[in-house]
């Protein structure tokens, strides 16, 4: 499942690159029609049709592109405008067409322009028959008036940095410098790159498409964006699917800390699985032996970084790598075996790494820091990191350490409180440590009209159409087609996992861990 997710990522990068040049063409100005929800004060009265055109490059003619202008500050609709870029694949069966289905792939910072094309081979035909598939780059991302902070590869490789008393002063200086660079390069724009404004942009898109309501599929961070839309524009919601959920009460620092909390039980589960497959992997006959091998490797990498196919990894990077992989037991077990080989001086394949671009990091920070207020006293981060390095040794020190948000300007608006009865379907893997089941339960409580589909023993990040659970796929597709939610919450079984290691013929690591969690890629 992990490899399948990554295959979508590769499609995404290529398609996004092809889309960007073409999207610099025709621009339409559109504003949302008056809404009856609590955010109607930001809506302007007029709409304008979009001008669709071919996207160019090697993309098929079925994918069309357009660009609209939206207010930078929706509270001042007559002020400065920015671009938001869209793509579309029309409903395959005009006679069955229901409306539009917007997508957000997560992040925050994920480009959504590729999604209609990338998912077209995965979505059931019944969904493609009924919906125009609409992708868009959120404001500040990709082709939508992109942000840039002037960061370097060294800044970007470890966005969350392991805490050490000896390096904490350097981490503080790094966090302050990144915040200053982002502020200096983006002036007033930066403060308006928020989830609330992206949700408002979605309503502008709805109006420009001439639709009374929209349907939506949001993954990871996209679940929070979707829930904010339900709160601001409840009357504009048609069928919303929220996959791998964010708890709206924990945005954003607390949600980041949940990654460390949930990594610990996932790690214990993985060591147990690996010990039960000792005959295949030879990493230890008991969970304690597997765990001891891992931490011995981490200690060795802290003393002298490991050469992993030409890339050097210290102990913190080894911890983060395994943290991302442990919900896919055979993948993580194979990786641990390669780490052991590297310690022994044996040659190993290159370990792929995900290093965000300047735009990805800038737009990620804009949301993380601009949606909510973070602690401003470095002493808070020092104390939390010391505590969490003991509580959650796999990742606790990193996510509690100082972050650029400590030096960000105060948010222009308070975070959205999600509390409504808008119908929505939440789908969730039980063993997703990136957006854990506890977060999905939190979103379910906030969206009182929602139903929760839990995939028992479901592994990985993302459910729908990824081969995780035929049961969950069936429930989700039925909802998108009929609009009928299950009468109660549903627990689905996960599909049987392939035989160990059958996901890849490659002898090397299967994936690069996303340095920006919520990536959805």
Closest Cα to residue 20, out of 112, 149, 109?
A: 112
**What does the alpha-carbon distance between residue 299 and residue 18 come to, in Å, rounded to a whole number?**
43
Q: Which of 87, 111, 220, 398 is catalytic?
A: 220
Closest Cα to residue 461, out of 106, 121, 115, 123?
A: 106
**What does the alpha-carbon distance between residue 372 and residue 362 come to, in Å, rounded to a whole number?**
16
SS3 503: coil
User: Is the previous residue joined to 252 through a cis bond, with omega within 30 degrees of 0?
Assistant: yes
Q: Which of 247, 461, 469, 519 is catalytic?
A: 461
With residues binned 3-state (H G I as helix, E B as strand, rest as coil), the percentages for the chain, rounded to 5, are 45, 15, 40
DSSP state string for 356-414:
--HHHHHHHHHHHHHSSPPP--HHHHHHHHHHHHHHSTTTHHHHHS--GGGGSPPPSSP
DSSP state string for 125-152:
HHHHHHEEEEEEPPTTSTTSS-------
* CB atoms inside a 10 Å sphere around CB 488: 7
**What does the alpha-carbon distance between residue 227 and residue 193 come to, in Å, rounded to a whole number?**
17
Instruction: Say whether 328 is catalytic.
Output: no
**What does the alpha-carbon distance between residue 319 and residue 298 come to, in Å, rounded to a whole number?**
7
Buried b (16+ CB within 10 A) or exposed e, 225-260: bbbbbbbbbbebbbbbbbbbbbbbebbbbebbbbbb
User: What is the bridge-based pairing of β-strands 131-136 and 99-104?
Assistant: parallel
Question: Distances in Å between the alpha carbon of 157 and those of 152, 216, 354, 414, 434?
Answer: 9, 32, 8, 30, 19
Q: Which of 73, 132, 358, 432 is catalytic?
A: 432
**What does the alpha-carbon distance between residue 210 and residue 92 come to, in Å, rounded to a whole number?**
19
SS3 annotation, 173-237: HHHHHHHHHHHHHHCCCHHHCCHHHHHHHHHHHHHHCCCCCEEEEEECHHHHHHHHHHHHCHHHE
**What does the alpha-carbon distance between residue 432 and residue 460 come to, in Å, rounded to a whole number?**
5
Task: Tell me phi and psi for residue 447, to 5 degrees.
Answer: -95, 90
Question: Distances in Å between the alpha carbon of 362 and those of 118, 171, 281, 379, 402?
Answer: 24, 18, 40, 25, 17
Instruction: Say whether 220 is catalytic.
Output: yes
Active site residues: 220, 432, 461
């Amino acid at each position: 499942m992990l490899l399948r997710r990554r295959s979508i990522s590769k499609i995404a990068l290529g398609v996004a690159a092809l889309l960007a040049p073409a999207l610099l063409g025709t621009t339409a100005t559109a504003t949302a029609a008056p809404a009856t929800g609590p955010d109607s004060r930001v809506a302007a009265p007029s709409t304008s049709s979009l001008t669709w055109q071919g996207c160019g490059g090697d993309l098929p003619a079925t994918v069309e592109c357009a660009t609209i202008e939206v207010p930078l500050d929706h509270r001042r609709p007559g002020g400065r405008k920015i671009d938001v870029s869209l793509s579309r694949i029309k409903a395959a069966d005009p006679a069955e067409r229901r409306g539009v289905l917007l997508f957000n792939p997560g992040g925050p910072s994920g480009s959504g322009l590729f999604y209609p094309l990338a998912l077209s081979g995965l979505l059931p035909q019944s969904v493609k028959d009924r919906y125009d598939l609409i992708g868009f780059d959120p404001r500040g991302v990709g082709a939508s008036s992109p942000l840039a902070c002037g960061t370097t590869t060294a800044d970007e490789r470890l966005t969350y940095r392991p805490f050490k008393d000896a390096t904490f002063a350097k981490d503080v200086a790094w966090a302050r410098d990144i915040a200053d660079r982002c502020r200096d390069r983006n002036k007033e724009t930066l403060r308006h790159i928020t989830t609330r404004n992206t949700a408002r942009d979605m309503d502008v898109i709805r109006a420009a498409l001439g639709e009374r309501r929209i349907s939506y599929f949001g993954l990871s961070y996209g679940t929070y964006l979707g829930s904010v839309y339900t709160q601001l524009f409840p009357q504009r919601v048609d069928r919303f699917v929220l996959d791998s959920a964010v708890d709206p009460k924990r945005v954003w620092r607390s949600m980041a800390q949940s990654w460390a909390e949930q990594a610990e039980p996932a790690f214990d589960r993985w060591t147990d699985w690996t010990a039960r497959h000792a005959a295949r992997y030879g990493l230890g006959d008991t969970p304690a032996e597997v765990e001891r091998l891992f931490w011995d490797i981490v200690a060795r990498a802290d003393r002298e970084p490991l050469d992993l196919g030409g890339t050097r990894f210290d102990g913190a990077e080894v911890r983060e790598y395994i943290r991302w992989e442990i919900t896919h037991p055979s993948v993580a077990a194979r990786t641990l075996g390669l780490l052991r080989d590297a310690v022994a001086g044996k040659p190993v394949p290159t370990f792929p790494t995900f290093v965000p671009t300047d735009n990805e990091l800038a737009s990620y920070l804009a949301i993380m820091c601009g949606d909510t207020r973070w602690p401003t006293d470095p002493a808070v981060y020092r104390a939390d990191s010391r505590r969490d390095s003991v509580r959650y040794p796999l990742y606790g020190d990193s996510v509690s350490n100082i972050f650029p948000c400590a030096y960000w300007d105060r948010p222009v608006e308070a975070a959205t409180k999600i509390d409504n009865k808008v119908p929505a379907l939440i789908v969730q893997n039980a063993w997703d440590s990136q957006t854990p089941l506890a977060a999905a339960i939190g979103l379910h409580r906030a969206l009182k009209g929602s139903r929760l589909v839990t995939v028992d023993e479901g592994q990985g990040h993302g459910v729908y159409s990824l081969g995780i659970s035929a049961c969950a796929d069936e429930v989700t597709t039925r909802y998108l087609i009929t609009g009928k939610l299950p009468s109660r919450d549903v627990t689905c079984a996960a599909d049987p996992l392939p035989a160990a290691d059958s996901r890849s013929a490659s002898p090397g690591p299967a994936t690069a861990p996303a340095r920006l969690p919520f990536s959805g890629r």
